[in-house]
């Protein structure tokens, strides 16, 4: 009986793979996950959409923490796992990349047409006029508005939210929309209590339905946001493979489960398949 990695290589070799990635894929880029071995314990509850839109003090707290967290997220580089996914896509083996992450590292590694289920932290939208701008532009404006701000984060979460003390939060000055001057700015990500756009969910379901294999990378599948795609694959009779450190709530549906660091397992997977393709292309 083959070991799990060998079995995974055999499955992926047939192509038609839809990848579903979670926070565990980005831990080796210096971004901790929530529940895995590198997970950080939140001191504060995550921001909800309802609180963010209704409470000025809550927005100040969010932007102070996010401003510090962006210094980590914004500098993060794709790791070997991200590059392996991009390589498998370039080789024609991966047909779709769906991610629960908001860090943009799949695209930075070269992946194409990534469906960002929860949006992207590097974009900011005005809730009043609808203007969308890049996070780098907002970061420059926040730096100008807070020249003496030098808080250090106790921990940074995968969504870029950092744990700060109350004194640091109180000293921080947020900014409004640069276009309409008074509009509330929000990162272009799905907050707790906010609904993922239906069209985006439909694209994800269609990608899964059109795949031959659903490959889950670095997700505990604890929340339904990601687990629903595993359930849909199982319902459609599409095999599920999982690479994750530790148990997941999708293990019962997995045809193959590789419990290993993604930065080790995914390059090994990509290298084996690239070598196999090279061997076939050299056959007489």
Among the listed residues 61, 118, 186, 227, the single catalytic one is: 118
As a whole number of angstroms, the distance between CA 280 and CA 284 comes to 9
pLDDT band at 174 (very low <50, low <70, confident <90, very high): very high
Q: What is the mean pLDDT of residues 191-215?
A: 96
Q: What is the mean pLDDT of residues 231-239?
A: 98
CA 20 to chain CA mean position, Å: 9
Residue 282 marked as a ligand binder:
no
As a whole number of angstroms, the distance between CA 96 and CA 118 comes to 16
List pLDDT tens digits, range 42-96: 455 678 999 999 999 999 999 999 998 898 888 999 999 999 999 999 999 999 9
Q: Is it the case that residue 152 has pLDDT exceeding 70?
A: no
Bridge partner list, 172: none
Residue 245 marked as a ligand binder:
yes
Residue 129 marked as a ligand binder:
yes
Q: Is it the case that residue 178 has pLDDT exceeding 50?
A: yes
- Answer with the residue of higher pLDDT: 166 or 3: 3
Here the tokens at position 14 are 């047939």
For residue 149, the domain's CATH number is 3.40.50.1220
pLDDT band at 38 (very low <50, low <70, confident <90, very high): very low
Residue 180 marked as a ligand binder:
yes
pLDDT for the residue numbered 42:
45
As a whole number of angstroms, the distance between CA 41 and CA 163 comes to 10
pLDDT band at 157 (very low <50, low <70, confident <90, very high): low
Range of the domain at 21: 4-281
Q: What is the mean pLDDT of residues 229-257?
A: 97
Residue 35 marked as a ligand binder:
yes
Model's pTM, two decimal places? Answer: 0.89
Bridge partner list, 125: 132, 186
The tally of domains found in the chain comes to: 1
- From 266, 232, 237, 239, select the one nearest 255 (Cα to Cα): 239
pLDDT for the residue numbered 93:
97
pLDDT band at 279 (very low <50, low <70, confident <90, very high): low
As a whole number of angstroms, the distance between CA 266 and CA 263 comes to 6
Least confident interval from 47-56, 142-151, 162-171: 162-171
H helices present in the chain, as ranges: 4-12, 49-54, 56-73, 80-90, 105-108, 135-145, 166-170, 198-209, 224-236, 262-281
Residue 95: strand, helix, or coil: strand
Pairing of strands 132-134, 119-126: antiparallel
Question: CB atoms < 10 A from the CB of 198, how many?
Answer: 8
Q: Percent of the chain scored above 70 by pLDDT?
A: 88
Q: Confirm whether 118 is a catalytic residue.
A: yes
pLDDT for the residue numbered 1:
56
Mean pLDDT of the chain: 90
Q: What is the mean pLDDT of residues 204-222?
A: 97
Q: Is it the case that residue 156 has pLDDT exceeding 70?
A: no
**Residues 39, 237 contacting (CB under 8 angstroms):** no
Residue 217 marked as a ligand binder:
no
As a whole number of angstroms, the distance between CA 219 and CA 149 comes to 35
As a whole number of angstroms, the distance between CA 219 and CA 104 comes to 16
């Amino acid at each position: 009986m083959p070991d799990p990695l060998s079995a995974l290589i055999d499955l992926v070799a047939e192509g038609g793979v839809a990848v579903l990635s979670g926070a565990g894929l980005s831990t080796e880029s210096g971004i901790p996950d929530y529940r895995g071995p590198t997970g950080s314990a939140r001191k504060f509850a995550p921001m909800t959409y309802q609180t963010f839109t209704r409470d000025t003090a809550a927005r100040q707290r969010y932007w102070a923490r996010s401003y510090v967290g962006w210094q980590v997220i914004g500098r993060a580089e794709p790791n070997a796992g991200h590059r392996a996914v991009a390589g498998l896509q370039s080789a024609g083996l991966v047909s779709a990349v769906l991610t629960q992450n908001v860090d943009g590292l799949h695209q930075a590694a070269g992946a194409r047409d990534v469906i960002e289920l929860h949006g992207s932290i590097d974009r900011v939208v005005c809730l009043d006029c609808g203007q969308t701008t890049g996070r780098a532009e907002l970061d420059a404006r926040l730096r100008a508005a807070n020249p003496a701000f030098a808080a250090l984060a106790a921990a940074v979460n995968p969504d870029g939210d950092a744990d700060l003390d109350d004194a640091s939060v109180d000293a921080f000055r947020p900014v409004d929309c640069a276009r309409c001057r008074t509009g509330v700015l929000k990162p272009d990500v799905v907050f707790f209590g906010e609904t993922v756009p239906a069209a985006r969910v439909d694209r994800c379901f269609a990608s899964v339905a059109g795949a031959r294999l659903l490959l889950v990378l670095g997700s505990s599948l604890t929340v339904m946001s990601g687990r629903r795609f595993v359930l849909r694959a199982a319902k459609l009779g599409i095999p599920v493979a999982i690479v994750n450190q530790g148990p997941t709530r999708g293990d019962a549906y997995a045809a193959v489960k590789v419990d290993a660091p993604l930065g080790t397992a995914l390059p090994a997977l990509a290298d084996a398949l690239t070598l196999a393709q090279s061997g076939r292309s050299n056959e007489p």
